[in-house]
Amino acid sequence: MTADDQLQVVQDYIRFISSHDLDAVLALYAKDAVLEDPVGSDPLKDPEAIRKFYATAFAMGISAKSTGETRCAGNSVAFPFCICVKLGDNQMSIDVIDVFDFDESGKIQSMKAYWGPENSKTEPIPKTS
Amino acid sequence: MTADDQLQVVQDYIRFISSHDLDAVLALYAKDAVLEDPVGSDPLKDPEAIRKFYATAFAMGISAKSTGETRCAGNSVAFPFCICVKLGDNQMSIDVIDVFDFDESGKIQSMKAYWGPENSKTEPIPKTS
């Protein structure tokens, strides 16, 4: 798996999160993948639990945006991005760093999301007239 | 270990890297710490190897600068920063994401540095007259 391949997965991941394409996101994962979001919570190992995790997030209307360079290292990547959710007249944004470990076929074997309450802020959505 | 404690370690780490304070950096680590920099290289497990790693970097004159929020999650942190090295009339900078896992006493048990050639750039140092 080249760095270009890894960068493509990250780009696809962020795009599919924002377009709420559940099947496309799940297709990036290995069948025996483990997802820990946030790090410190119980890891999800069951494909159905991982599907439900994203389905719930998409139902909340989340979107994702890259906020810096993806770092490719060995079979892993780490990348900073922002998750946004509209809450009534406000918008909550969370600055996250995700780490993916890839398996030999280029699928995400492990996903760890690093973020805490300190990385979240809620602001009014600017009104357009 | 609170998020504030974790943020302090990251702040100290970046400061000690720039001030080349070898003993202070090493004091942040657990005695049985593992360092993998970059991820994909052979992890360093021997305290002497870890000391040598930083001594070599300091001898090159590196400095470090935070480039974004530290993410605290469980017993871990992930944070983006930049490493700079002067090379003659040029300056090389590398955008890195480090992940620390802490032990129960608040020492760094595992350090993983995510970066690759794509995250490095070399530019001329602006001349001051």
pLDDT in tens, B68-108: 999 999 999 999 999 999 888 899 999 999 999 999 999 99
**Shortest CA gap B67–chain A (Å):** 9
> Closest Cα to residue B68, out of A15, A91, A114?
A114
Residue/partner pairs of B39-44 with CB below 8 Å, 24 or more apart: B39/A73, B39/A74, B39/A76, B39/B112, B39/B113, B39/B114, B40/A73, B40/A74, B40/A75, B40/A76, B41/A74
pLDDT for position A126: 79
Look at residue A129 and tell me whether its pLDDT is greater than 80. Answer: no
More confident residue, B58 or A86: B58
B118 in contact with A, Cβ within 8 Å: yes
The CATH number that domain A3-124 falls under is 3.10.450.50
Look at residue B129 and tell me whether its pLDDT is greater than 80. Answer: no
pLDDT in tens, A7-35: 999 999 999 999 999 999 999 999 999 99
**What whole-number percentage of chain B has pLDDT above 70?**
99
B68 in contact with A, Cβ within 8 Å: yes
Contacts of B120 in chain A (CB under 8 A): none
DSSP-based helix, strand, coil % in chain A, nearest 5: 30, 45, 25
pLDDT in tens, A41-81: 999 999 999 999 999 999 999 999 999 999 999 999 999 99
Of A3, A67, A99, the CB nearest to B99: A99
Report CB contact under 8 Å: B96, A69.
no
First CA to last CA across chain A, in angstroms? 49
**What whole-number percentage of chain B has pLDDT above 90?**
92
pTM here is 0.95
Q: What is the distance between the alpha carbons of residues A90 and A95, in angstroms, rounded to a whole number? A: 17
- Omega within 30 of 0 (cis) for the link into B43: no
Q: Is B69 helix (H, G, I), strand (E, B) or coil?
A: coil
Report CB contact under 8 Å: A116, B73.
yes
Look at residue B25 and tell me whether its pLDDT is greater than 70. Answer: yes
ipTM of the complex: 0.94
**Which is the catalytic residue, given B4, B5, B12, B13?**
B13
Mean pLDDT over B36-45 rounds to 98
In chain A, where the domains are located? 3-124
